[in-house]
Amino acid sequence: MADFFESRRSIRRYENRDVSEQLLNHLLGKAFRASNTGNMQVYSVVVTRSAEKKEALSPLHFNQPMIKQAPVVLTFCADFHRFSQWCELSDANPGYDNFLSFYTASVDAMLVAQNFAALAEQAGLGIYFLGTTNYNAQGIIDVLGLPELVFPVTTITLGYPAETPDQTDRLPLEAVVHNEVYNRGQDVKRLYAEKESLSENQAFVRDNNKTSLAQVFTDIRYTKENNELFSKSLLEAIRKQGYKF
């Protein structure tokens, strides 16, 4: 069964075929068995199926076509709202409007999201993670009506695969795994040599008129300017949801 993990690829194109509510809930229920902090389950999942909500979410994800094309869009949220409500209804004074709690709930939401992704793939579905969730969080909060202390962490599009893309490359294990202490003496150029040599990556460099693959990242895909702009809006959105820091 480990083959499911080894052979996986992210899926951007889906069959015109629904994912039943029964199957979705079955997979979500299993995913919720993931480890979580203190068994507080400080996460929520918002399911988007309606054309109207997909239309509203689409520009917030920079019009990536998966949002409208996938039968199901799942927004995984850090959620201390429900837990805090429970405290207030139980004569207990919640203290979860802080950065630690935000980060804890983010961690738990991610564990559940990845657990769901693995389960969905083993059930024959395809998934795609949308990192754009962190760029336009406030817009997503508004569209999904997220209350105080609920924050969108990641988005998964879900459906039956209509493509079998090539697997993307990965760094050699020694680039990522360190024994006992972080290896500060890595030969970083060597570790990235295979990545740089791949024809699709060389095409990226050529097509963008750059002199190195790294420049495609720094100058085009993930620029300092955009990162700083989105850092500002991300922090604003987190604080607006009531996490104080």
Scan residues 12-41 and list those touching a copy of itself (CB under 8 A): 25, 28-35, 37-41
Among 17, 20, 217, 240, binds a copy of itself (CB under 8 A): 217
The DSSP letter of residue 180 is S
- From residue 43, how far is each of 40, 81, 130 by CA, in Å? 9, 9, 18
From the list 116, 89, 106, 107, the residue with the least C-alpha distance to 149 is 106
In our burial notation (b when 16+ CB lie closer than 10 A, e otherwise), range 223-242 reads: eeeeeeebeeebeebbeebb
Among 22, 51, 91, 206, binds a copy of itself (CB under 8 A): 91
Residue with smaller CB distance to a copy of itself, 59 or 147: 147
Structure tokens of 63? 């019009």
Contact between 197 and a copy of itself by CB under 8 A: the answer reads no
Contact between 219 and a copy of itself by CB under 8 A: the answer reads yes
Contact between 127 and a copy of itself by CB under 8 A: the answer reads yes
Least distance (Å) from a copy of itself to the CB of residue 199?
15
Contact between 213 and a copy of itself by CB under 8 A: the answer reads yes
Contact between 65 and a copy of itself by CB under 8 A: the answer reads no
Binding mask 128-157 for a copy of itself (x = CB under 8 A): xx-x--xx--------xxxx--x--xx---
Which residues have a Cβ under 8 Å from the Cβ of 244 and sit 6 or more positions away? 97, 98, 99
Residue with smaller CB distance to a copy of itself, 30 or 69: 30
Cα–Cα distance for residue pair 69/16, rounded to 1 Å: 8
Contact between 51 and a copy of itself by CB under 8 A: the answer reads no
From the list 121, 92, 96, 117, the residue with the least C-alpha distance to 106 is 96
